[in-house]
Structure 1
Amino acid sequence: MDGPIVGESPDYSIAEDEVPWLLGTQLTERWGPLARAPDGSGVLLIEAHDFARRLPYHHHKLTLVFAGMRRFRDRLRESGYEVHYVKADTFSDGLSAFFDENPGVTLVAMPSPSDGSGERLHELVDAAGGRLKLVENDSFVSTRGAFEEWAGDDERFTHEQFYRWMRRETGILVDGDQPLGGEWNYDEQNREVPPDDWTAPPVPTFEYDDVTERTAQWVAEEFDAWGRSDGFRWPVTRRQACLALRHFLEHRLPTFGPYQDAMSGDDWAMSHALLSPALNLGLLHPVEVCEAIESASETRADVDLPSAEGCIRQVLGWREFVRHVYRRTMPDLAAANQLEATRDLPECYWTGETEMACLGETVGDVHARGYAHHIQRLMVLANFATLWGVEPSQLNEWFHATFVDAYHWVTTPNVVEMGQYAHGVFATKPYVSSANYVDRMSDYCTQCPYDEDATTGENACPFNALYWDFLARNEDDLRSNHRMAMLYSHVDRKRESGELEAIEARVADLRERATVGDL
């Protein structure tokens, strides 16, 4: 049975009058309640449709969740389980229908990682006249208790320290209590841009059955979904997820490390793992992913330590870290806005209509597949929104709706805190930059009508003026940050020379152009 390896795994059994209730992001019998139930036991899945109407979710995201649930239902039935699969408008309706047919049953469920899930599940079951036993969600590497013991009473958290602790606790890529190779991370070696003649490794593809095809068509007809309806390419079964993991290990992991921060207008996937949708649905467990990557680095000459460590840091370190920080800081984190940003999200995030190549092509990637990799998310999408002054909850909602791997526990720490520096619980400075970073790490600027080297003037890249304007207007909050002292010496020089006035005029012009869709 899979489960956490840092902290004590939940210890419970499933009695005869108990039925596992699996949510749509828990599509597994390898851990959780179903892993502890007898073969052929009952299991409940509720396909609730109203949630899919709350936001303009990406077509591929809805297809992924609903097709994943339906394929899992069929596989369980083929394995002899008594599957109660209820389609309803709401979870409340689904639970009422289930308990009407199964009085006296106690449901056993793992809450989702999203805030308030456990309380909400109890409320729904109570209202339906049933009984519920909640158990800890063991879909992660570490338990809640283990993190609480590590964090103590701290109110601010450091990812690097957490990551080192997780490496030591799991024994992954360590020799005794020291990092394999002598370094805890290899960021310095993982910031390369591929040469012009580099060809990205192939992207995995899957054969879908009629269930998945019909689900995709139903989503297009039933919901006001955003994004393209064709080109769906994500794993919806355990078998497909394992194929995706194997494909990454064989074809993409060797070049993941050096090019993980690079962006290209010609290649949406680069060498990224593309495993987060499968992980967040429960089709893969993060422990098996980390152990598979570690094994590849130990047995294959083409997988170097920087590539293996860089990928393991994202799963073992960052994914676990944001899950726990989210849990500790909600609901405050979702409403945080320490820089008091108040502007609306620009319409181009929904339409993709902008002359800025980096922003337009990244939004285009999301529209096409519900996906963009982590540097596009942080240094294009979140960077521009932060410089523009977008109210954090608006950007968070956009990410939540448009990405196939997005859930509230995922997006809130990544977008509100890391992307927009809205709280201060772990981000030590805003992750913002001018066009210089985008130019250095991508080929976007070579195909853009804007001049990446100019700050003011008609063709100057908007990133440049917005960057200095952001620093100037947030000076009271940021100047005292020791990590930004050098930047504010530049702000001072621009103010003294009068350049800051020209920058402010350029920003005012950009905002006016945005109102008429001419950014």
Structure 2
Amino acid sequence: MQQPIVGDLPEYSLGESDVPWVLGTQLTTRSGPIARAAEGSRVLMIEAHDFAARKPYHHHKLTLVFAAMRQFRDRLRAAGYEVIYITADSFADGFAAFFDDHPDTRLVAMRSPSYGSERRFRELIEAAGGDVRFVDNELFASTRQAFDEWANADPDDETPTFKHESMYRWLRRETGVLMDGDEPVGGEWNYDDENREFPDETWAAPPAPSPEPDEQTVETAAWVEDSFETWGDTSVDDFPWPVTREQAQDALDRFIDERLGEFGEYQDAMRADDWAMAHSLLSSSINLGLLHPVEVIEAIIDAYDSRDLPLNAVEGCVRQILGWREFMRHVYRHAMPALAEANQLDATASLPDFYWDGDTEMECLSQTISEVYDRGYSHHIQRLMVLANFATLWGVEPGELNDWFHATYVDAYHWVTTPNVIEMGQYGHGVFATKPYVSSANYIDKMSDYCSDCRYYKTKTTGENACPFNALYWDFLDRNEEQLRSNHRMGLMYSHVDDKQESDELSSIRDRVATLRAKAADGDI
């Protein structure tokens, strides 16, 4: 049994009429109702298709989800389970078909982390004349109750605030991960300062995984292409995403053997010729349930204990899984539904078309969007400091950017994109972000090689071919002054705004931004 390691879950068992229902993001036999079911039990899976038609999802994302579900179905059947696998236009149709054939059963399922899903599923199942029991989701490192007790979170508080670093330290203490008694291993809780280097030309990243897709994946990819209006590359010749438990375990082993030692100091770096760098590429497997976050953490710590691995690499990886992923899950629970609609900076601009077609001469955006188009992936700094950074400076309505991320990334689900994009990326709510994470071209130049091949000049703010990030950065501070000037973390930046105001440089900056917006409207930026 694989369960959270912080907090205790209520014990339960299945009755004779109970049927485990496995959702498409819970593809494991080691957690939840299926882990408690008798050998040879009936299991329900519903492959509902209507969600895939609601927006232009990345072809690889739909291929991954449906191929992984079908592989899990086949694995269960081979293991002796009686799998009732229903393909339907909608969950409503799937439930109706199931309860027509099995009227005296009750479904038992782990809760989905997506807001409102339990209520919607209950309504659909009741409409089908059935019954369901939802139990705690075991596919995280901490329980809801443990977090709420630690945070002393008031369920009636409409504006809760949380701090990631505090939660991360609490989870480290509770689990003993990278702890030496009461103190962190190495004497520091966080080695982020050691993870912000850019590699020189002599550094070679470990080879990116390029497994040959199996027949099931190839067939599913062709069906997805024929059945839905998708975005992104439809070829699966270079499809790096595991669709089985075995493939996911192999990806974890390869990360630890080949990539973890290289992950540390360059984890924030961006190179135009290297989409993977030394990142784990495990997020889609964890979010589908093919890997449990606890087993990933344990494998990393075992490797650290037995091998000569740099602490900054190990801690940085642990922080992403034990820290940030858990934080996103709990923040989402407490800040929804307001978080999904949050827009505290009153941003109203539409997402530029080049987020969909990649047609921009800004090299950083062109390269990143190209990578997302090819594989449904880019790493966390590209997401935050290129894609979300530009959208925030441009003034894009947060929900629109969130929809884009949800559709285009293979590891994206509403519970994880919403706090990452709307709050961290666009400073939309205030539930945990203490300032907007925005920058001019200077940060992108420091952490990437994009600027050297760009049409725009990274050092220019105004005038022909000046980098759009520069003028947009100062324009962002100017137009949001009422909301941001009082923020103590923004004091230095507003002293520079004052200087530009006094020198009348802001007037030229506003003119440059107006020119950029006109160019964008004509598809020429």
> What TM-score range do you get, normalising by the shorter chain?
over 0.9
Give the letter aligned to residue 224 of structure 1: E
Report the Cα offset of residue 9 of structure 1. Answer: 2.5
Give the letter aligned to residue 509 of structure 1: T
Question: How far apart in 2 are the matches of 1:115 and 1:435?
Answer: 36
Q: Select 2:313's aligned residue among 287, 307, 318.
A: 307
Displacement over 4 Å in runs of 4+: none
Q: Select 1:328's aligned residue among 326, 334, 351.
A: 334
Report the Cα offset of residue 139 of structure 1. Answer: 0.5
Q: Tell me the residue number matched to 1:224.
A: 229
| Residues 1:31 and 2:38 aligned together | no
Q: Tell me the residue number matched to 2:135.
A: 135
Q: Tell me the residue number matched to 1:83.
A: 83
The question of whether the paired residues in 2 share the 8 Å contact of 1:111 and 1:121 is answered with no
Report the Cα offset of residue 204 of structure 1. Answer: 2.0
Q: Tell me the residue number matched to 2:199.
A: 194
Report the Cα offset of residue 10 of structure 1. Answer: 3.6
Q: Tell me the residue number matched to 1:404.
A: 410
Question: How far apart in 2 are the matches of 1:494 and 1:84?
Answer: 67
Query: Which string of whole-angstrom CA distances, capped at 9 and with x for unpartnered residues, describes residues 389-447 of structure 1?
Result: 00000000000000000000010000000000010110000000000000000000011
TM norm structure 1: 0.99
Question: How far apart in 1 are the matches of 2:77 and 2:442?
Answer: 55
Report the Cα offset of residue 325 of structure 1. Answer: 0.4
- Name the count of aligned residue pairs: 518
Query: Which string of whole-angstrom CA distances, capped at 9 and with x for unpartnered residues, describes residues 333-365 of structure 1?
Result: 000000000000000000000000000110000
Which range is displaced more, 460-469 or 188-197?
188-197
| SS of corresponding position for 1:87 | strand
Question: How far apart in 2 are the matches of 1:210 and 1:491?
Answer: 58
Q: Tell me the residue number matched to 1:516.
A: 522
Q: Tell me the residue number matched to 2:106.
A: 106
| Residues 1:429 and 2:429 aligned together | no
Aligned-CA RMSD value: 0.7
Question: How far apart in 2 are the matches of 1:208 and 1:228?
Answer: 15
Query: Which string of whole-angstrom CA distances, capped at 9 and with x for unpartnered residues, describes residues 53-97 of structure 1?
Result: 011000000000000000000000000000000000000001110
Give the letter aligned to residue 291 of structure 2: L
The question of whether the paired residues in 2 share the 8 Å contact of 1:216 and 1:229 is answered with yes
Give the letter aligned to residue 192 of structure 1: E
- Give 1:237-316 correspondences, 5 Å limit: 237-301=244-308, 303-316=309-322
| SS of corresponding position for 1:337 | coil
| SS of corresponding position for 1:45 | strand
Question: How far apart in 1 are the matches of 2:268 and 2:222?
Answer: 35
| SS of corresponding position for 2:265 | helix
Report the Cα offset of residue 16 of structure 1. Answer: 1.5
Question: How far apart in 2 are the matches of 1:333 and 1:189?
Answer: 32
Report the Cα offset of residue 255 of structure 1. Answer: 1.1
The question of whether the paired residues in 1 share the 8 Å contact of 2:213 and 2:239 is answered with no
Query: Which string of whole-angstrom CA distances, capped at 9 and with x for unpartnered residues, describes residues 133-192 of structure 1?
Result: 110111100000001101113621000000000000111000112101100010111111
Give the letter aligned to residue 26 of structure 1: Q
Question: How far apart in 2 are the matches of 1:343 and 1:204?
Answer: 38
Question: How far apart in 1 are the matches of 2:328 and 2:256?
Answer: 25
Q: Tell me the residue number matched to 1:212.
A: 217
Q: What percent identity do the matched residue pairs reach? A: 66
Q: Tell me the residue number matched to 2:57.
A: 57
| Residues 1:395 and 2:395 aligned together | no
TM norm structure 2: 0.98
Which range is displaced more, 112-121 or 277-286?
112-121
The question of whether the paired residues in 1 share the 8 Å contact of 2:14 and 2:37 is answered with yes
Report the Cα offset of residue 234 of structure 1. Answer: 0.4
Question: How far apart in 2 are the matches of 1:316 and 1:437?
Answer: 27
Q: Select 2:324's aligned residue among 290, 294, 318.
A: 318
| SS of corresponding position for 2:107 | strand
Report the Cα offset of residue 297 of structure 1. Answer: 1.0
| Residues 1:176 and 2:201 aligned together | no
Question: How far apart in 2 are the matches of 1:149 and 1:345?
Answer: 39
Question: How far apart in 2 are the matches of 1:10 and 1:240?
Answer: 32
Question: How far apart in 2 are the matches of 1:233 and 1:430?
Answer: 33
Query: Which string of whole-angstrom CA distances, capped at 9 and with x for unpartnered residues, describes residues 204-239 of structure 1?
Result: 233432211100000011000000011322000000
The question of whether the paired residues in 1 share the 8 Å contact of 2:284 and 2:410 is answered with yes
Which range is displaced more, 434-443 or 122-131?
122-131
Report the Cα offset of residue 39 of structure 1. Answer: 1.2
Question: How far apart in 2 are the matches of 1:28 and 1:120?
Answer: 23
Question: How far apart in 2 are the matches of 1:406 and 1:55?
Answer: 14
The question of whether the paired residues in 2 share the 8 Å contact of 1:335 and 1:393 is answered with yes
The question of whether the paired residues in 1 share the 8 Å contact of 2:210 and 2:239 is answered with no
Query: Which string of whole-angstrom CA distances, capped at 9 and with x for unpartnered residues, describes residues 88-118 of structure 1?
Result: 0000001110111111000001121010111
Q: Select 2:170's aligned residue among 162, 165, 171.
A: 165
Question: How far apart in 1 are the matches of 2:263 and 2:349?
Answer: 36
| Residues 1:149 and 2:165 aligned together | no
Question: How far apart in 1 are the matches of 2:216 and 2:298?
Answer: 32
The question of whether the paired residues in 2 share the 8 Å contact of 1:206 and 1:240 is answered with no
- Give 1:499-514 correspondences, 5 Å limit: 499-514=505-520
Question: How far apart in 2 are the matches of 1:281 and 1:40?
Answer: 23
| SS of corresponding position for 2:264 | helix
Q: Tell me the residue number matched to 1:371.
A: 377
| SS of corresponding position for 2:524 | coil
| SS of corresponding position for 1:258 | coil
Question: How far apart in 2 are the matches of 1:272 and 1:209?
Answer: 24
Unpaired runs of at least 5, structure 2 = 155-159
Give the letter aligned to residue 283 of structure 2: S
Question: How far apart in 2 are the matches of 1:278 and 1:12?
Answer: 27
Question: How far apart in 1 are the matches of 2:12 and 2:58?
Answer: 37
Question: How far apart in 2 are the matches of 1:209 and 1:421?
Answer: 42
Give the letter aligned to residue 368 of structure 2: T
Q: Tell me the residue number matched to 1:359.
A: 365
Question: How far apart in 1 are the matches of 2:453 and 2:417?
Answer: 30
Report the Cα offset of residue 249 of structure 1. Answer: 0.2
